[in-house]
Structure 1
């Protein structure tokens, strides 16, 4: 029985990895017409979700990294490419040069309307119904929380 535990098809990590790669393929196809990679799409999702109202401070690089679970070394090249594409703007905080603000440009904000169909198409590609997909997200969130706690020990 113990040898059974070493089979590839018994590994949770591989099931998650294989699913992630399959999802990446669907996202790659769907995002091609938006001109975004999957990591860039994730950045845009956070920026669309956290658009500051007039007078509110913009999202910082630090908060963006926390939301995406990415360090600044990984996030900075993504933002440079999004900035070169005219979708975001990065500005140093005038009060604290160490802090970098990230803002959507008008083109970046407008891209949101075209991106609305992406989640629907990915949802359809999963073959799951809405309750199954909700349950899957909940289970994955619990697993992530448990693994984060374990890694912190």
Structure 2
């Protein structure tokens, strides 16, 4: 990861995050979204995460955002206020270099420091071995699978749940 910086996310990272997320939506099954959110939607999400002081990290290489990870509320009900759900996306051009693991490890540490108790990974597609592997490497344990709950690219997809105690 020479030349790579992992740092807190900022509002000005929204265009890079949008680019990475849009490609993931359009070409992959990590997200069950069928259309990428707009840059305005991404900017609004980033602003909300910053305002709520949620764990949010960006990987930057030579001034370009090449990955990001964050932990958002698992569910909106107050009883879940100590549980987060993580999201992690890395530009395909730099996947396999440990960036995802470094991003997720940083988010886990930020969540622990913030007083949270659990992080849930909701992983789209049972064949998403990269995400499953990154979560295992960061101490997440298998918590269950929901069969055939998503439909994208003309096929039914499972969702895997993994969990990490903080």
Instruction: Give the greater-gyration-radius structure (CA).
Output: 1
TM-score by length of 1: 0.31
Which structure: greater strand fraction? 2
TM-score by length of 2: 0.29
Which structure: greater helix fraction? 1
